[in-house]
Amino acid sequence: MSLSSSGIGNTSLYFNPAKNPFLIQKKIQELGVNYRSYSEIIQFNNSFFKHVSQFLQNPSYSNLFLHNSGQEENELKGGSVSVSFLEKPEDKEEDELKYAKKVYQIIQQLDSEVSLGAVCVLVRKRSEGVVVANYLSENNLEIVS
């Protein structure tokens, strides 16, 4: 596979169902139970995908989100989900750091019993992840990427 400058290589290998890069035949198996996540995360995801389904233009995606995205909980109870919205700053330099600063602020406000290893930060682009990782590292927070 070749990597392009954007970090994404030959995506047709992944998104073309006729091609299989493995030596064994692929088998799609839906797992009803989410064994990795805590109950609050599973409940959030189930509610989020059901809610979002009504706004999707493509009927296939809407149906998928509404009827086939729900998962059952496992024995792990608890967890937390935080969703924040940020105002767009006027200053371009400040704009680059706004998300990183918000992530740092949220981490600082976490209960002391929460392990940093249990925290997951989602970004849209790799470049945004780099900015967040650098900011957290500069503020003495260990990260795993």
pTM over 0.85: no
First-to-final CA distance of the chain? 22
Q: Which tens digits make up the pLDDT trace of 68-126? A: 889 999 999 998 888 888 887 777 777 778 889 999 999 999 888 888 888 888 888 89
